[in-house]
Structure 1
Amino acid sequence: MHSPESRPAVAIVERIRLASGSRFSLYVLVCLHIVVCCLSLVQVANWQSYMLYDDIWFRPAIAAVAAFSTVSLLFIFARFSFGYFVGFSLFTMVLGFIWLLNFSRFKYDYRLAGLSAAASALAFLLPALLINRPLKQKHVLSPRALQYVLNSILALAIGTIVAASFYNFNLVSIRQIYDFRNELYFPAPIRYLTGIISTVLLPFAFACYLALNRRWWAVVPLVLMLLFYPITLSKFALFSTAWIVVVLILSRLFDPRAATILSTLLPMLLGVILVSVQLNNHTQLYFGLVNIRMMAAPSSAMDLYNDFFASHPLTWFCQVSFVKPLVSCPYQEQLSLVMEKTYQLGNINASLFATEGIASVGLYLAPLVALLCGLVIALGNRVSAGLPPAFVMVSGALLPQTFLNVPFTTALLTHGTVFLFLLWYVMPRTMFDPRIEPAAS
Structure 2
Amino acid sequence: MSLYYKLDTKQIAILAYACSATCCLSLACVSLLYPEFHIRYFSGALWLATAVTAVFACTSYLFGLARFSLGYAIGFYLYVMILGYLWLNSFSDLPYNHAVTGLSAAASALSFLLPALLINEPLPRVVRLSERTASRGLTLILIVSIAVILVGAWYNFRMVGIDRIYDFREALAFPTPVSYLLGITSNSLLPFAFACFALRNNLWRAGLVIFLILLIYPITLAKASLFAPIWLVGLTVVSRFIDARSTVVLSVFAPIVLGLLIFFLVRQGMLPYSTITYFGLINFRLIAIPSVAMDYYNYFFSTHESTYFCQVQFVKALVSCPYTEPLSVVIYKFFGIGGYFNASLFATEGVASVGTLFAPFSALACGLVIAVGNRLSAGLPDRFILISSAIIAQTLMNVPLTTVMLSYGGGLLFLLLYLTPREMFHPGHVDQADLKTSVA
- 1:36-435 alignment to 2 at 5 Å? 36-49=22-35, 50-278=38-266, 279-345=271-337, 346-435=339-428
For 1:210 and 1:234, locate their aligned partners in 2 and report how far apart those are by CA, in whole Å. Answer: 24
Which deviations, in whole Å up to 9, do the C-alpha atoms of 1:17-57 show, x marking residues without a partner?
Answer: 13xx2123212211210111011001100111211111111
Which deviations, in whole Å up to 9, do the C-alpha atoms of 1:339-385 show, x marking residues without a partner?
Answer: 01000121001000000000000011100000000000001111111
Q: Which moved more, 1:243-252 or 1:227-236?
A: 243-252
SS for the counterpart of 1:405 is coil
Counterpart AA for 2:320: S
Which ranges in structure 1 are unaligned for 5 or more consecutive residues? Answer: 1-7
TM-score, length basis structure 2 = 0.95
Q: Which moved more, 1:299-308 or 1:68-77?
A: 68-77
For 2:272 and 2:281, locate their aligned partners in 1 and report how far apart those are by CA, in whole Å. Answer: 14
> How many angstroms does 1:281 deviate by?
4.5
Aligned counterpart in structure 2 of residue 23 of structure 1, from 9, 29, 40: 9
For 2:160 and 2:21, locate their aligned partners in 1 and report how far apart those are by CA, in whole Å. Answer: 37
Counterpart AA for 2:405: L
For 1:253 and 1:309, locate their aligned partners in 2 and report how far apart those are by CA, in whole Å. Answer: 45
For 1:137 and 1:215, locate their aligned partners in 2 and report how far apart those are by CA, in whole Å. Answer: 29
SS for the counterpart of 1:404 is coil
Task: Say if 1:271 and 1:283, in contact at 8 Å, map to a contact too.
Answer: no
Relative to structure 1, the CA distance from residue 244 to residue 282 in structure 2 (aligned partners, 3 Å threshold; closer, same or farther) is farther
For 1:412 and 1:221, locate their aligned partners in 2 and report how far apart those are by CA, in whole Å. Answer: 22
Q: Specify the alignment match of 1:4 in structure 2.
A: none
Report sequence identity in percent.
48
For 1:225 and 1:98, locate their aligned partners in 2 and report how far apart those are by CA, in whole Å. Answer: 35
SS for the counterpart of 2:433 is coil
TM-score, length basis structure 1 = 0.95
- Determine if the alignment matches structure 1 residue 32 to structure 2 residue 18: yes
Relative to structure 1, the CA distance from residue 325 to residue 129 in structure 2 (aligned partners, 3 Å threshold; closer, same or farther) is same
SS for the counterpart of 2:356 is coil
Counterpart AA for 2:32: N
For 2:199 and 2:12, locate their aligned partners in 1 and report how far apart those are by CA, in whole Å. Answer: 27
Counterpart AA for 1:333: E
Which ranges in structure 2 are unaligned for 5 or more consecutive residues? Answer: 435-440
For 1:141 and 1:331, locate their aligned partners in 2 and report how far apart those are by CA, in whole Å. Answer: 45
For 2:170 and 2:283, locate their aligned partners in 1 and report how far apart those are by CA, in whole Å. Answer: 25
Counterpart AA for 2:351: I
Counterpart AA for 1:411: V
Relative to structure 1, the CA distance from residue 179 to residue 266 in structure 2 (aligned partners, 3 Å threshold; closer, same or farther) is same
Task: Say if 2:96 and 2:299, in contact at 8 Å, map to a contact too.
Answer: yes
Counterpart AA for 1:40: S
Counterpart AA for 2:170: N
For 2:340 and 2:106, locate their aligned partners in 1 and report how far apart those are by CA, in whole Å. Answer: 25
SS for the counterpart of 2:67 is coil
Which deviations, in whole Å up to 9, do the C-alpha atoms of 1:390-410 show, x marking residues without a partner?
Answer: 000111111121111111100
For 1:284 and 1:212, locate their aligned partners in 2 and report how far apart those are by CA, in whole Å. Answer: 38
Task: Say if 1:205 and 1:218, in contact at 8 Å, map to a contact too.
Answer: yes
For 1:27 and 1:112, locate their aligned partners in 2 and report how far apart those are by CA, in whole Å. Answer: 28
For 1:400 and 1:71, locate their aligned partners in 2 and report how far apart those are by CA, in whole Å. Answer: 19
Task: Say if 1:93 and 1:298, in contact at 8 Å, map to a contact too.
Answer: yes
For 2:335 and 2:363, locate their aligned partners in 1 and report how far apart those are by CA, in whole Å. Answer: 26
Which deviations, in whole Å up to 9, do the C-alpha atoms of 1:305-348 show, x marking residues without a partner?
Answer: 00000000000001111111111110000000000100012100
Q: Which moved more, 1:249-258 or 1:173-182?
A: 249-258
Task: Say if 1:129 and 1:378, in contact at 8 Å, map to a contact too.
Answer: yes
Q: Specify the alignment match of 2:438 in structure 1.
A: none
Task: Say if 2:121 and 2:375, in contact at 8 Å, map to a contact too.
Answer: yes
SS for the counterpart of 1:46 is helix
For 2:359 and 2:85, locate their aligned partners in 1 and report how far apart those are by CA, in whole Å. Answer: 15
> How many angstroms does 1:143 deviate by?
2.0
Task: Say if 1:83 and 1:128, in contact at 8 Å, map to a contact too.
Answer: yes
Which deviations, in whole Å up to 9, do the C-alpha atoms of 1:110-144 show, x marking residues without a partner?
Answer: 01000000000000000000000011111122122
Task: Say if 2:135 and 2:433, in contact at 8 Å, map to a contact too.
Answer: no
For 1:407 and 1:322, locate their aligned partners in 2 and report how far apart those are by CA, in whole Å. Answer: 15
SS for the counterpart of 2:137 is helix
Q: Specify the alignment match of 1:440 in structure 2.
A: 433
